[in-house]
Structure 1
Amino acid sequence: MNPRSLLVLRRPIHTSRSLHFPSSSTSSTITPPPSTVQVGYRARSTSKWVKRVGVIGVVGGGLYLVDREFNASAITRSLRTAYIGILCTLDYKINFSPTKADKIEALHERVASRLRWVIDTNQGLYLKLGQALGLQAALLPKPYREAFGHVFDRAPAVSYDEVLGVFQRDLSLDPSEIFETFSHEPFASASIAQVHKATLKPGVGGPGHDGGGTVVAVKVQKPAIEKQMELDLFSYRSLMWLSEKLFELPMYFVADYVSSQMRLETSFTNEANNARRCAALLAQTPELKDDVYVPRVYGEAEGCKQSDRVMVMEWIDGCRLNDKKQLQEWDLNLREVMDLAISTMSAMTFSWGFIHCDPHPGNILVRPHPRKKGKPQIVLIDHGLYIDLPQKFREEYCTLWRSLFVLDVPMIESIAKKWGIALDANLFASAILLRPFQVNKLKVKKGQEKVETQEEKDKSQYEQQVELKRRLRTMLENEQLIPRELIFLGRCQRMMQANNQLLGSPSSRVNLTARWASIGYTRSVTGSRSLRTVGTWTWLKDRYQAVLFRFTLSIVDIAFWFTTQTQRILPKEKGGWEDRLQAQFETMAKEEFGIEIDDQVFLG
Structure 2
Amino acid sequence: MLFTQMEACASSSRLTLTPLRQSPACRGCLLNVSRRTFATSPLKPKPIQGRSRRWIRRTGIVILIGGGVYAYDKQFNASALSRSLRTGWIGLVCTLDYKINFAPSKAHEIDNLHQRVADRLRWVIDTNQGLYLKLGQALGLQAALLPKPYREAFGHVFDKAPSVPYAEVQGVFRRDLDVDPEDIFVSFSHEPLASASIAQVHKAVLRTPQGEELVVAVKVQKPAIEKQMEWDLFSYRSLMWVCEKIFDMPMYFVAKYVSVQMKNETNFQHEAGNARRCAEFLSQTPELKDDVYVPRVFGESEGCRESQRIMVTEWIDGCRLNDQAALERMGLKARDVMDLVISTWGAMTFSWGFLHCDPHPGNILIRPHPKKKGKPQIVIIDHGLYIESTTEFREDYCNLWRSLFMLDIPTIERIARKWGIALDPNMFASAILLRPFQVKKKTKEELAQEPEKTAYEQQLELKSRFKTMLENEQLIPRELIFIARCQRMMQANNQLLGSPSNRINLTAKWASTGYTRSLNAPRTIARVGLSTWLSDRFRMIILRMTLGFSDLIFWLDRLRQYLLPKSKRKGWEDQLQAQFESIAKEEFGIELEDDVFLG
TM-score by length of 1: 0.90
- Give ranges in structure 2 of 5+ residues lacking alignment: 1-11
Question: Quick one: structure 1 residues 278 and 542, their matched pair in 2 at CA, closer, same or farther if it must change by over 3 Å?
Answer: closer
Question: Quick one: structure 1 residues 154 and 450, their matched pair in 2 at CA, closer, same or farther if it must change by over 3 Å?
Answer: farther
Match of 1:5 in 2: none
The one-letter code of the counterpart of 1:587 is: S
Match of 1:104 in 2: 110
| SS of residue paired to 1:150 | helix
Matches of residues 146-295 of structure 1 in structure 2 within 5 Å? 146-201=152-207, 203-204=208-209, 207=210, 210-212=211-213, 214-295=214-295
Match of 1:122 in 2: 128
Partner deviation per Cα, 1:535-585 (whole Å, 9 max, x = no partner)? 5xx788656534431221122112211222222221222431111112212
1:349, 1:356 → 2: CA distance? Answer: 9
8 Å Cα contact 2:147-2:590 kept in structure 1: no
Shift of 1:36: 9.1
Match of 2:6 in 1: none
The one-letter code of the counterpart of 1:302 is: E
Shift of 1:374: 1.3
The one-letter code of the counterpart of 1:559 is: I
2:106, 2:426 → 1: CA distance? Answer: 36
Which of 573, 586, 597 is residue 568 of structure 2 equivalent to?
573
1:445, 1:515 → 2: CA distance? Answer: 31
Partner deviation per Cα, 1:103-137 (whole Å, 9 max, x = no partner)? 22211211111111110000011101112233444
2:391, 2:13 → 1: CA distance? Answer: 116
8 Å Cα contact 2:562-2:569 kept in structure 1: no
- Does 483-492 or 416-425 show the bigger shift? 416-425
Question: Quick one: structure 1 residues 601 and 30, their matched pair in 2 at CA, closer, same or farther if it must change by over 3 Å?
Answer: same
1:587 to 2:570 alignment? no
Match of 2:361 in 1: 361
Matches of residues 395-414 of structure 1 in structure 2 within 5 Å? 395-414=395-414
| SS of residue paired to 2:202 | strand
Which of 516, 519, 525 is residue 513 of structure 2 equivalent to?
519
Match of 1:94 in 2: 100
2:205, 2:535 → 1: CA distance? Answer: 60
1:25, 1:430 → 2: CA distance? Answer: 91
- Does 362-371 or 555-564 show the bigger shift? 555-564
8 Å Cα contact 2:523-2:533 kept in structure 1: no
| SS of residue paired to 2:155 | coil
| SS of residue paired to 2:568 | coil
1:493 to 2:487 alignment? yes
8 Å Cα contact 1:429-1:437 kept in structure 2: yes
Question: Quick one: structure 1 residues 405 and 468, their matched pair in 2 at CA, closer, same or farther if it must change by over 3 Å?
Answer: closer
8 Å Cα contact 1:158-1:222 kept in structure 2: yes
2:178, 2:552 → 1: CA distance? Answer: 61
Question: Quick one: structure 1 residues 554 and 97, their matched pair in 2 at CA, closer, same or farther if it must change by over 3 Å?
Answer: same
Partner deviation per Cα, 1:236-287 (whole Å, 9 max, x = no partner)? 1122223334543222111000000001000000000000000111111111
Question: Quick one: structure 1 residues 35 and 224, their matched pair in 2 at CA, closer, same or farther if it must change by over 3 Å?
Answer: farther
- Give ranges in structure 1 of 5+ residues lacking alignment: 1-8
Count of residues in correspondence between the two structures: 582
8 Å Cα contact 1:434-1:581 kept in structure 2: no
2:560, 2:435 → 1: CA distance? Answer: 20
2:117, 2:406 → 1: CA distance? Answer: 45
2:185, 2:428 → 1: CA distance? Answer: 53
Question: Quick one: structure 1 residues 189 and 445, their matched pair in 2 at CA, closer, same or farther if it must change by over 3 Å?
Answer: closer
Question: Quick one: structure 1 residues 394 and 39, their matched pair in 2 at CA, closer, same or farther if it must change by over 3 Å?
Answer: same
Question: Quick one: structure 1 residues 249 and 144, their matched pair in 2 at CA, closer, same or farther if it must change by over 3 Å?
Answer: farther
| SS of residue paired to 1:480 | helix
Shift of 1:150: 1.8
Match of 1:340 in 2: 340
8 Å Cα contact 1:504-1:576 kept in structure 2: yes
Partner deviation per Cα, 1:213-257 (whole Å, 9 max, x = no partner)? x11110000000000000100111122223334543222111000
Which of 445, 448, 452 is residue 446 of structure 2 equivalent to?
448
Question: Quick one: structure 1 residues 439 and 56, their matched pair in 2 at CA, closer, same or farther if it must change by over 3 Å?
Answer: closer
1:42 to 2:32 alignment? no
Match of 2:25 in 1: 20
2:522, 2:205 → 1: CA distance? Answer: 50
Match of 2:458 in 1: 464
8 Å Cα contact 1:119-1:127 kept in structure 2: yes
Question: Quick one: structure 1 residues 541 and 65, their matched pair in 2 at CA, closer, same or farther if it must change by over 3 Å?
Answer: closer
